[in-house]
Structure 1
């Protein structure tokens, strides 16, 4: 049930047009939604801070229903705020600087991840606090989820108040006033018209297919490393090592994302990221051979940081340039809806191939029992039979490597079409990405 909390970010396109249609003009088109949403986020955090620790740690079991309800509501508010921020970025920045929206987006997300996840997890961990922050060990960390929410709630309230009072919002001078006053129904119609634009339809095909090439690498590699014996806590350390890179990389890419051709970086990086499928697969293959007495040497973790760091450069470069391109082609009159549509297509393009990979990876793995070749270890019962007979299940065909190979071949084939298509989309006039709300022909 708790997985329901992820739905709002996947479904926010359903209510994005409402944010473009309904607003208080005197207060600001985006502030009308951003300020109330952030105030409510702060209030929800304060409310949850009094009960969340009990809901999680109750000796009779966690209270799944209230946890799901509260976090679903929190994510709904955050998703709505995200729509408003995306739309505001298109009008807050000058048109020639709108590509910097992706720089701000990526740096803000990384900083938020650092403070809201990495720092919290470290301060909540008794082991971390006892090792690095305390002289006298204690059984709990410095903070709990409840105390962390108690701190974050007022931070949201104060910062939102400052934004509401000090930051003014003005509509661009060139924006069509008739477009900004469309009704809710007409805004939904506008979404359908946007989706029917030839440029958007072609872009949708690109976004729904380009991530197939990386799906096996992205979704299974970490699982394979864990199964090979790499401690899970080491991944947290590796992730922390990447944070400075994730913060500085958007700045380094800034000069490339503000021009007319931000997707040039995407096209150049795509084959590099594709080649890394083979690099990471090779690293996974060699990992068990580098273990010494159930531990990995220091140089192994150095290699892990290096490989993961280079891969993050490719991944983050593609992400930042994509966001810059979205900001460039999106119609500011329907910025929240337009950006949400493109982001939703991007998310779907990543989720559906990863789901298929996780579905097929076991089915493409073939094993045998070391002391009974007739036992193929195809289910937990057969694995238990093998282990009860003091045998071990060995893979002679690993579905991970099969899928990495298949995805890499698909990626090579995709490049022949995709890179040319992206160049064509990037070269189109901005009017090809807009719908004239006042043109009767567009309303059919």
Structure 2
């Protein structure tokens, strides 16, 4: 923990500009400096932090020197200089036309690699491992494993600690990145060594698997906080917007390597068809752990972190938590939080269970992975188009409009599961599934970019990192918390019987005997066959769709209309 520095009585000189001109200038800076990204993989979105392109504020921040000192601490070196001089940056030169320096190019490569390391565990926990476990676990047990993805949506809870506690001799960001990556590599090596024991009979090791992967995601989320903060000092001021690009490339590459590529290479049929070596989970984890260790040791011995400029006061953990609480007490923020917490419930069944149901119906895992891989470039192109669409004065409008096609695709997904053809599936049906995946993903991309544009617009640039992380946390949490209930609900509402054939007589055991994993094993041991009479997936999916439409019409549309009409000033808070 660094020693506390002596406070200074420097204050921010107010700028001599009209309030309206001041607001317009700030919004323009934020729109030009931020880039929204999306990764619609099984409904899991990864939101970036917005680079802090701040400007000196007017009299609303004037007053006590202590408050001004805290706010100055949140600004970059150039921004603090502007604040002290009471001047604005010179925007007469188009910085977008400047060539990217060699230093920034190296920094971008480093950021891509660090984000890629972060994406590997996420691709395993949220993508490939649930599909590998599907043949051995019930939906209730899969719901337990789904808890492993929750830490990534809750990282706001400990992000102030990561931002405030560090060893000056190592570096503010390296103090966290180095140990976190060493732990990630060690955990992946532990899983690799124990794969035969854990995956041979996963029903008896569900809690151990959940604990290990929850720890893996938690450590990766902590590394993400540190990398996001380091990006603000690794890149020059005019190239801060490329931080989002680095996260898109690195995180998505790591995710797809662990999800799409691994599932394909892990399939014996796929490898025999194309004549390539079979890749086991153990071998893949060992390879990834080695890469993680190599990059970490390179950081230790060859990459020096630049010291951040001395500030007038320390940004304490307590002050950041108080600021988060002050933001949450705003009435319109509370309305936005309620909207985020329930907005994705209409898509929850589709994102949590539809792909698993298609695999259960006979859709091969490698074919599903191939469909997602084909969708990847369309996601990037869709994100570009959605970003252009969301630049207007009403960024929530495309977000609201995209609800209708997205809910429609959720209904279509349910019907696809219901009428899924008997394998092998035809080429025309496979093309139809790819088209469904692409268009469904595009509607999800439009929503994510639209809500990200709104977050960028309303976030105070002085506390942009904290503000954006807060809003994105609730947005991500809205898509995460229903998963456990959805997967459990599939089993709760399912009715299945075990049919035994003896001397041409059919004997049916109790209804619940073929729903649980234990019941299936007992039925199989008796030589019977499980017959599903009522599939709880359709009931859960129907409930989600009905709720999604009702909540959209009764709360989201009127609330979104009010929120986007509020002036920017009402979203601002003073540092506590």
Short-chain TM bin: 0.7 to 0.9
Task: Give me the whole-angstrom Cα distance separating, in 2, the residues matched to 1:205 and 1:305.
Answer: 34
**Are 1:263 and 1:321, in contact at CA under 8 Å, matched by a contact in 2?**
yes
Task: Give me the whole-angstrom Cα distance separating, in 2, the residues matched to 1:362 and 1:349.
Answer: 22
Give the equivalent residue in structure 2 for 1:378.
512
Q: Taking structure 1 as reference, are residues 366 and 146 closer, same or farther at Cα in structure 2, changes over 3 Å only?
A: closer
Q: Is 1:81 equivalent to 2:214 in the alignment?
A: no
Q: Taking structure 1 as reference, are residues 345 and 402 closer, same or farther at Cα in structure 2, changes over 3 Å only?
A: same
Task: Give me the whole-angstrom Cα distance separating, in 2, the residues matched to 1:339 and 1:49.
Answer: 31
Task: Give me the whole-angstrom Cα distance separating, in 1, the residues matched to 2:208 and 2:413.
Answer: 41
Q: Taking structure 1 as reference, are residues 432 and 112 closer, same or farther at Cα in structure 2, changes over 3 Å only?
A: farther
* Structure 2 residue corresponding to 1:427, chosen from 558, 562, 565: 565
Give the equivalent residue in structure 2 for 1:241.
374
Q: Is 1:110 equivalent to 2:252 in the alignment?
A: yes
Shift of 1:372: 6.4
More helix by share: 1
Shift of 1:269: 0.6
Give the equivalent residue in structure 1 for 2:385.
252
Give the equivalent residue in structure 2 for 1:436.
574
Task: Give me the whole-angstrom Cα distance separating, in 1, the residues matched to 2:247 and 2:476.
Answer: 16
**Are 1:42 and 1:154, in contact at CA under 8 Å, matched by a contact in 2?**
no
Q: Aligned Cα RMSD in Å?
A: 4.6
Task: Give me the whole-angstrom Cα distance separating, in 1, the residues matched to 2:412 and 2:431.
Answer: 15
Q: Taking structure 1 as reference, are residues 96 and 262 closer, same or farther at Cα in structure 2, changes over 3 Å only?
A: farther
Task: Give me the whole-angstrom Cα distance separating, in 2, the residues matched to 1:390 and 1:324.
Answer: 55
85-94 or 250-259, larger mean C-alpha shift:
85-94
265-274 or 214-223, larger mean C-alpha shift:
214-223
1:127-155: CA deviation from partner (whole Å, max 9, x where unpaired): 65565465xx6797995422332124334
**Are 2:490 and 2:540, in contact at CA under 8 Å, matched by a contact in 1?**
yes
Task: Give me the whole-angstrom Cα distance separating, in 2, the residues matched to 1:59 and 1:217.
Answer: 28
Structure 2 gaps, min length 5: 1-143, 500-504
**Are 2:178 and 2:299, in contact at CA under 8 Å, matched by a contact in 1?**
no
Q: Is 1:13 equivalent to 2:156 in the alignment?
A: yes
Q: Is 1:150 equivalent to 2:279 in the alignment?
A: no
Task: Give me the whole-angstrom Cα distance separating, in 2, the residues matched to 1:411 and 1:39.
Answer: 43
Task: Give me the whole-angstrom Cα distance separating, in 2, the residues matched to 1:203 and 1:392.
Answer: 45
Q: Taking structure 1 as reference, are residues 240 and 350 closer, same or farther at Cα in structure 2, changes over 3 Å only?
A: same
Matched ranges for 1:395-434 at <5 A: 395=533, 397-416=534-553, 417-434=555-572
* Structure 1 residue corresponding to 2:436, chosen from 299, 307, 312: 307
Give the equivalent residue in structure 1 for 2:413.
280
Structure 1 gaps, min length 5: 172-176, 438-442
* Structure 1 residue corresponding to 2:464, chosen from 318, 321, 335: 335
* Structure 1 residue corresponding to 2:402, chosen from 269, 276, 280: 269
Q: Taking structure 1 as reference, are residues 5 and 147 closer, same or farther at Cα in structure 2, changes over 3 Å only?
A: same
386-395 or 200-209, larger mean C-alpha shift:
386-395
- What TM-score comes out, normalization by structure 1 length? 0.75
- What TM-score comes out, normalization by structure 2 length? 0.60
1:101-138: CA deviation from partner (whole Å, max 9, x where unpaired): 7666545432332345444555666765565465xx67
1:273-313: CA deviation from partner (whole Å, max 9, x where unpaired): 111222112211111xx22xx42222222222111221111
1:79-101: CA deviation from partner (whole Å, max 9, x where unpaired): 23323455677899999999987
1:311-345: CA deviation from partner (whole Å, max 9, x where unpaired): 11112221232233223322333333323322322
Task: Give me the whole-angstrom Cα distance separating, in 2, the residues matched to 1:55 and 1:389.
Answer: 32
Shift of 1:8: 3.8
Q: Is 1:193 equivalent to 2:326 in the alignment?
A: yes
Q: Taking structure 1 as reference, are residues 228 and 422 closer, same or farther at Cα in structure 2, changes over 3 Å only?
A: same
Shift of 1:400: 2.4
* Structure 2 residue corresponding to 1:204, chosen from 329, 337, 357: 337
